[in-house]
Amino acid sequence: MTNKKLQPSQSKGKTFIGLVVSDKMQNTIVVAMDHQFLHPKYRKTVTRTKKIYADNNLKAKVGDTVKVRETRPLSKLKRFITLEIVKN
């Protein structure tokens, strides 16, 4: 059995890109992810927003676009870690 360490981009878990909307907690940011879909009856584009809590190991600020990945539960609400800051 090999004991190979995986890079963050090679680890398990889905990755998402979202906008940081809050950084007031210690080591935690709130990331808003938008999801657009076509309404089945009215054929209009509808936008839904999902907020997630992520570990802020890269010191991201409000307004930054970040890439986050699923991980094991870190606290009661945190299930994501920050991989990179895509845009400041």
45-65 in b/e burial notation, b at 16+ Cβ within 10 A? eeeeeeebbbbbeeebeeebe
**Sequential pLDDT tens for the chain (88 residues):** 566 666 655 678 999 999 999 999 999 999 999 999 999 999 999 999 999 999 999 999 999 999 999 999 999 999 999 999 998 8
Q: In 10 A of CB 34, how many CB atoms?
A: 11
pTM of the model: 0.82
User: What pLDDT, on a 0 to 100 scale, did the predictor assign at position 87?
Assistant: 87
Q: Which domains does the chain have, with CATH numbers?
A: 15-87 (2.40.50.140)
Q: How many residues does the chain have?
A: 88
